[in-house]
Amino acid sequence: MSGTGRMEGSGTGGPLLRIEGLRVGFRSADGGVVEAVRGVDFSVAAGEAVGVVGESGSGKSLSMLAVMRLLGSPARTTGGRVMFDGQDLLALDEARMRAIRGRDIAMVFQDPQSSLNPALTIGRQITDVVRAHRQVSGAEARRIAAESLERVGIRDAGKRLDAYPHEFSGGMRQRALIAMAIACRPRLLIADEPTTALDVTVQAQIVDLIAELRRDLGIAVIFISHNLQLVAEIVDRVVVMYGGKVVEDGPVEAIELRPRHPYTGLLQACVPNLTGPVGPLVAIEGAPPRLGRMPQGCPFSPRCPHVVEACIEEMPPLEREAELRFACWRPQ
């Protein structure tokens, strides 16, 4: 630890965050455990932006809640490690984890309406976070809060501190949440579908804001979304999840130009082309697997247009090809 209480570098030269074999399950009625996240592995370097994409139910948000140790009952982590700067977050006691959460790692949730306390002013909510992690006076905490609001593009930040959440628009509430997240200058920002329920123009503004903050503050970013095209605008690397597993992982340029997993290609095809020729909108037939009813082999096999017998019988391992990792018996 440094003199400020912030975590120092591990000295290993490794990634800032490394998720190894992460598993998350739900206790079933018969006393067993139904796994929703089934051995997730990926890493994030200091200052890197990584997009985690997939349909609802793929396990992307659940994985990040496990990283933050914010899983609510009946969900619980059932295996794996989450190494942040050399420490396994899953092995820390709650007091040490609470010190890291909000200071070194911050998370922005997808619904600002429910994430902000309607009974407290925006300024109170930000200053509470600041004073929980930094030894500063109330006046200094308020100055930091105003500076954070200003940084995320809210005008008259000093006056806006005394506003309540209902006095902000949806886009402004999301900006306020981001201001709260960056107030203690975290090293990693996790943005969980931060553009959900916002109109297209405001979505673009939030995406640009996160990209700007990453550049100006030098923080690493994990951007969770179901929209591959959206995350491709601001990330260096994409992790594609399906059925609680990573099915593809690689640099954004490689994923965009030559995805190897059929699911990744179909995710791309689902997004309408706004700049080129207008074509038919592609839909992925079928539905994601239900908890407790996961296919024996590849979880995407019931929906895959390129399925072969091996896909049904056995889950393919994550293979590496140049900069890409993919789990597919018949890569495209």
- Domain with 143 in it: 119-183
- CA-CA distance, 81 to 84, in Å (whole number)? 10
Tell me the H-state helices in 68-121.
94-100, 112-115
pLDDT for residue 291: 85
Q: pTM, whole model, 2 decimals?
A: 0.91
- pLDDT higher than threshold 50 for residue 9: no
Which pLDDT score, from 0 to 100, does residue 274 have? 61
Tell me 155's DSSP state: S
Give the start-end residues of each E strand in 216-287: 220-225, 237-242, 245-251
Q: Are residues 193 and 266 in the same domain?
A: yes
- How far apart, in whole angstroms, are the C-alpha atoms of residue 216 and residue 208? 12
- The residue out of 183, 211, 234 marking a domain boundary is 183
Tell me the C-alpha to C-alpha distance, in Å, between residue 108 and each of 127, 161, 220, 307. Answer: 16, 19, 14, 37
Q: Residue 195 has what pLDDT?
A: 87
Q: Tell me: do 32 and 176 sit in the same domain.
A: no
**pLDDT mean over 296-324:** 94
- pLDDT tier, 30 (very low <50, low <70, confident <90, very high otherwise): confident
Whole-number pLDDT of residue 66:
97
> How confident is the model at residue 320, as a pLDDT?
92
Domain check: are 320 and 223 in the same one?
yes
Tell me if residue 43 falls in helix, strand or coil. Answer: strand
Amino acid occupying residue 63:
S
Question: Stretch 244-255: mean pLDDT, rounded?
Answer: 96
In the chain, the percentage of residues whose pLDDT exceeds 70 is 94
User: Terminus-to-terminus CA distance in the chain, angstroms?
Assistant: 47
**Confidence at 6, pLDDT banded by 50, 70, 90:** very low
Token pair for 225: 């979304």
User: Residue 257 corresponds to which amino acid?
Assistant: L
Question: What is the CATH classification number for the domain harbouring 43?
Answer: 3.40.50.300
3-state SS class at 78: strand
Residue among 88, 85, 87 at smallest CA distance from 77: 88
Total domains in the chain come to 2
Domain boundary residue, one of 160, 183, 206: 183
* Helix %, strand %, coil % of the chain (to 5): 35, 25, 45
Give the SS3 label for residue 319: strand
Residues 138, 254: one domain? no
β-pair type (17-27, 75-84): antiparallel
pLDDT, mean of residues 151-165:
95
Task: Specify the pLDDT at position 162.
Answer: 97
Burial label, 144 (beta-carbon count in 10 A; 0-12, 13-18, 19+): buried
Same-domain pairing of 84 and 229: yes
Mean pLDDT of the 102-110 span: 93
Determine the pLDDT at residue 8: 37
Domain boundary among 139, 164, 183: 183
DSSP assigned state of 183: T
More confident residue, 7 or 267: 267
Mean pLDDT, rounded, of the chain: 91
The counts of H helices and E strands in the chain are: 12, 12
The residues near 216 (Cβ < 8 Å, ≥ 6 apart) are none
DSSP secondary structure code for residue 314 in this structure: S
Q: What one-character-per-residue DSSP string does 6-21 give?
A: PPPP-SS---SEEEEE
pLDDT for residue 1: 34
| Percent of the chain topping pLDDT 90 | 78
Q: What is the DSSP letter of 91?
A: G
Enter the tokens of residue 192: 């969980």
* Range 99-103 average pLDDT: 94
Model confidence band, residue 237 (pLDDT cutoffs 50, 70, 90): very high
Which of 5-14, 24-33, 300-309 has the lowest average pLDDT? 5-14
281 and 223, same domain (yes or no): yes
95 & 229 share domain: yes
Q: Is residue 215 part of a domain?
A: yes
With respect to residue 112, please indicate whether it lies within any of the assigned structural domains: no
Where are the alpha helices (H) located in the chain, listed in sequence order? 60-67, 94-100, 112-115, 122-133, 138-151, 157-160, 170-182, 200-217, 228-232, 252-257, 262-269, 309-313
d(CA 24, CA 64): 11
Average pLDDT over residues 206-230: 94
CB 260 within 8 A of CB 324: yes
